[in-house]
Structure formats: C-alpha cells, structure tokens
A and B are shown apart, each in its own frame.
Chain A
C-alpha cells in the first residue's frame, strides 16, 4: 500500500468573479522513501492541491479522497488533522522569512513545535533536540545559534531552520512547496543536497512542488506535470525528459535554454497564455495553445491513459509518439493530418 493515495481530488473557490476550479481532478500516490515532483506554472493548482490535503485552504469546496496510511485526510476534523500535521506530514514553504515568527527565537519555535505534539518532553530535552536538529541541517555552532532570532539568519540558514523544524518529529511525508525558489543558485544547491541526504537517512517520502524542471531532473523519482488544475502527464523522471508524450511537457522542455530547445538553437515558446480557471476551455484544456490540436481535442477531454508502462498522459495523440525525436514527430503529424478537418483553426 502506498503511503499517500489521492483519488480524484477537486478543489474550487467561490470568488466575486465566479467559481475558480483550482484543482479539477487529480489522482496520484507516493510510496515511503520516494520523491514525487509536481511541476507546473503559476495557477496550475500544484500548491493548492497539497495545501488542501493538509487542511490549509479554508473556504474551499473539496471533493475526492486522500488516504494517508488508510485514513482519509479530507474527511478528518480539524483536531484530527492537527495531530497529523507535524508528526506525520510536515511542510516546507517557499519563503523562509515569512514562515518563521519574527519575534520568537528560532530555537523556541522548534521547541514549541516538539512540545505541542509531545507534551511529556521537558523543555530542556526539547531544547537539546532543537540544537541537535540545527546541527544536523548544517547550522554552525547550533548551541549558540539556537537563541538567535530569524532576522539574524541568512536566507539559506532560515530555510535550513525550516527543514530542521519539518524533521523535528520525524514525519513520514514532507511536502516541500518551492523550497529553493527564493534562494541563490549556490545556496539552492546546498539545500537540495541537504534535503536528499536527510531523506535517505530518515526514509521520508517527499513531495517536491516546483516550477523548475532543473530541480526535478536532480532529485525526483516520479513526476506529475500539472496544467490548468489537472495532471497532464505522470511518469518517472527519465521518461519525462527523454520520452515525454504530452505536448505541454514537450513545450516546457523546448522553452528553457538548458533543455531540449536551447544550446545554440532558438527557443520554442508555447504560444498564448494559461487559461482562466473560472471558465476552462472545452475538451482538452491545452488545446488553444497546442500545435497538434485535432478536432476531438476541442470537444472531448482526454483521460489520463497509459502510453507506456507506468507512464500516463492525457492526450489524444498516438500512444507511441514519445519523445522529441523525428520519428515521434512524424507519428504526431500524420495523426494531426487525419484528425483535423478545419484548416488553420
């Protein structure tokens, strides 16, 4: 059994402009000790989905099921959820400055977290553990730095402190929401390195939410590509980079300079804008921007179907059109020629 199994998760918000369907049916699972990368652009629903699992989206309309060790997170009372958040599942957020309280010492914040969930631990013991944790995440002189305020830490150190806090109760799953986006390149490398090492040491499962395909290439086992609130491709890391099926994944890879399109050639951007989630397009939500759009794409929404073993893609193109090579391109083009009646639409 997987550690976490999410089935058909849907999240929507009522706003003055209408109902925003932020997540429109998401199914995934993650095993112990594995890393799942969720990639997508802003507004694709990648953060909202995981925040909903943790009960952090008040006011949202939620449906679906999320079994964590057999218990449904979505039907829990706030009290039950509180007992899961921290000891079982913990989160690391993007901005380490606003996720630490500025008026309390870093050590105090870790101690509070430990004692809130384990009231029998004495203050002195909790503090000892806080020092240990800070040392483990690579903060020099942790016995002294434990009494510092967050503003006395640099950006990288704050993110380390957040990781220490996330690890404090030895959770089974860590959800990291863009943990390195706010950091510089050399510090980002330090933090990713640290997270990987600690993950192996503690056998924690990790959900890594990011917009950076480079981060995913470094550390994810499996990848979920999100577009307009839905997963469009779900596969292991290698297949995503070398044998991607969905035109959106391929488009992302072609539009970054360090990916398939760069290195001398011209970047191939995806034309147009991501759609509005208040009134998503008919059929496949990617069809207005897709170079391979066929007639069916405008009407019928493609399900996430298996195109190879363990590789799902929500696209009507032939299953064997994998990767960016010329053969796959030919398969796609002949499919498009057959499936398109209107010209140039």
Chain B
C-alpha cells in the first residue's frame, strides 16, 4: 500500500504573518492558511480538493509544489522529504496549471517560447529539437502546431488553458497540481479541457491534485476527494463514497448548496442553509473550526478538536473530523438560530 503513495503530507502548517510598523516591523497576527493537514496522494489517481474561498486549498497546493516553504510539518515526494528550496529534479517531477489563462501567460512572448521554456531551464533540448518537441506537445493538447509563433492574445480562453497544460507537460512530470483549471472558462469549453486532462492522464499515467470550488466538476474528475474548511481537512474519502454518504455536517451543507442542473432534483433536495460566513483565518474558532456554523454542534465541539479518523460503520479510508458525524437520512435543515446570530462577525478582507 505504502509504496504507491506518490505524495505524503504530514502535519503541514502554513502561516502568513501580518506585520505592522514602518521601520521595525513586528508581527501582529497570523493568517492560519493551512493549519495541520495530513494527506496522501497515490500514484495515478486524482485527488480533488474542495472548499470555499479562504479555506487554504490553493496555499496547500502551492506548498506541495514547493512554491511556499511550510511553516511546520513535512511533505514527502516518493518517500523523500521536499526541503524549503526544492531541487531541480523535484521541479521536473511536479508541475502546476493555474486558474487564470490570461494572467498566467506572458503576453509579450510567443507561444512556442512559453511552452519551450522548461526545456531551456532544465537544459533538455534546444534549437530544432526544442521546436520539434514543442510542436509535439501542442499537438498532444489539441493546438495547431503551426501556431507556434503566435502570441497568447491570439488565442481564446480555452486554447490558452491548453497552452498552460502543454507547458506543464513539457518535462514529463509525475504530478500535476491543477489549481481551478476550468473555473475561468465557459461551460462548453470547460468540458473540452476536462476531457483533455482525463485523456492525458490515461495516456501518460499522470497523477493530479485537482482543486476546484465546483463540486460537480470535482466529483467528475476525482478518485478521492478531500474537503477543506479553514485550513483543515474535514473529510477525506473516495469520491463516490463521499458524495453518496457524506459524514461531516460541512460536507453535507456544501453538497446541498451546490446547484444541480436538473429541476426535479433541485425541487426534491433539502437545502441546508448555513448561517453566516466562513470566519476569518486570522483568528479561527477553537477546536472544531466549523462549530459556530454547525447545526449539530454541542459543547464538546468548542473545546476538543475531533481527529480525522474513520468513523463507525465507514470504510477504513473514509476519514471524518467530527464528533457527531451525520447518519444517512438524517435531517440537518434546521440550523440553530441563536448561534447563527453571533457567528456573522465580519471576516477581514483576507478570507475573500
């Protein structure tokens, strides 16, 4: 079992200091972006990470790719620890696809040189060989290789995202971290890019970490899904299992809130309307982070943090961090009014 684990995240913390003062800057507070996360990604699978804005999913992804050093904890890639400044060998193995296909490509450089950059940086190919390989990549992701000399502005959003995918594939990585790769695209184009990512995975045996806030997209692409809330993983299970049998009240609320493009189902479904907003990650609630908004919270939830473990009656790899996991068929629709009132404190700009 342990040998097919590609990435292992152990007790990862990432805090960003908030500093004040003009000459002598001192730390006044911390944003607890990632606050104790344990995760495993197996070779060849897709791990989906879902959560609302400010839950730390993008920060976690950046830590895994080595863009941010961790504050505490460690990340193992193929059993070896990734240090604060990862070496070139690691960088070859792990690549990233970004959300914004407009902001992530340099508008003044030609597509061929953008996709070919990794070959230069890692000294793999140059000249005619480089051009040949870039054109191969362009063909692989469904771009016309003759457009080698065009600028990003000459491509549409979906095509630009394909450029981003080609660039990520250049070094034949083992792991690709996709940070909201389709959220900026129109629905008809979204499906094109999702299908492309799936085909490439089958063809090249890639492992993905797929981050998105759209639950139906994550369900569609993922083998396993981790749900994050305020810097912590609240539930982690196989995709089908998680969507069919969510145990954490937050997962239940999130799933019931997602819109379904089917009027009959939309009418049948009972929406759990959570009160308030996600609290600020600067000063997160103690113990279980979700307790101020949770319809099932009891006294213990604000004093003792629930561990992320398999709960009674669940599969051994269905982990839930909750003292009172939801039973199948239980109704959560009634949130407690009293608690709802105090929890709507303004979130500082950071959580936006």
Q: B351: which A residues are within 8 A, CB to CB? A: 154
| Alpha-carbon distance A261/B352, docked complex (angstroms) | 33
Are B260 and A214 in touch, CB under 8 angstroms? yes
| Alpha-carbon distance A186/B53, docked complex (angstroms) | 11
Q: A182-208 vs B: 1/0 string, CB under 8 Å?
A: 001111111001000000000000000
A159 to B: closest C-beta gap in Å? 11
Residues in B244-271 with C-beta less than 8 Å from chain A: 253-254, 256-263, 265-266, 271
With beta carbons under 8 angstroms apart, the residue of A41, A185, A190 that contacts B215 is A185
Residue in A closest to B51 when the chains form the complex, CB atoms: A184
Residue in A closest to B346 when the chains form the complex, CB atoms: A152
Q: B168-209 vs A: 1/0 string, CB under 8 Å?
A: 000000000000000000111111101100100000000000
Q: A140: which B residues are within 8 A, CB to CB? A: 341-342, 344
Are B186 and A42 in touch, CB under 8 angstroms? yes
A185 touching B52 in the complex, CB below 8 Å, given contacts A154-B277, A217-B259: yes
With beta carbons under 8 angstroms apart, the residue of B189, B256, B258, B262 that contacts A259 is B262
Q: B258: which A residues are within 8 A, CB to CB? A: 185, 214, 258
Of the candidate stretches B13-21, B115-123, B216-224, B306-314, the one touching chain A is B216-224
Most buried by A among B191, B253, B260, B265: B191
A183 to B: closest C-beta gap in Å? 9
Are A157 and B187 in touch, CB under 8 angstroms? no
Residue in B closest to A238 when the chains form the complex, CB atoms: B263
| Alpha-carbon distance A220/B349, docked complex (angstroms) | 33
B38 to A: closest C-beta gap in Å? 24
With beta carbons under 8 angstroms apart, the residue of B195, B219, B342, B344 that contacts A266 is B195
Residue in B closest to A248 when the chains form the complex, CB atoms: B188
| Alpha-carbon distance A215/B262, docked complex (angstroms) | 10
Is A241 part of the binding interface, using a Cβ–Cβ cutoff of 8 Å? yes
Is A257 part of the binding interface, using a Cβ–Cβ cutoff of 8 Å? yes
Residue in B closest to A185 when the chains form the complex, CB atoms: B257
B223 to A: closest C-beta gap in Å? 14
Q: B216: which A residues are within 8 A, CB to CB? A: 256-258, 262
Q: A189: which B residues are within 8 A, CB to CB? A: 256-257, 271, 273-274
Residues in A253-308 with C-beta less than 8 Å from chain B: 253-259, 261-262, 266-271, 273-274
Residue in A closest to B271 when the chains form the complex, CB atoms: A189
A256 touching B261 in the complex, CB below 8 Å, given contacts A154-B277, A186-B52, A189-B271: yes
> Which residues from chain B sit less than 8 Å from chain A, CB to CB?
52-53, 156, 158, 186-192, 194-195, 198, 213, 215-217, 219-220, 253-254, 256-263, 265-266, 271, 273-275, 277-278, 341-342, 344, 346-347, 349, 351-352
> Which residues from chain A sit less than 8 Å from chain B, CB to CB?
41-42, 139-140, 148, 151-157, 184-190, 193, 211-218, 237-238, 241-242, 251-259, 261-262, 266-271, 273-274
The 9 listed contacts between A and B (C-beta, < 8 Å) are A140-B341, A156-B277, A189-B271, A213-B261, A259-B262, A266-B195, A267-B191, A269-B189, A270-B188
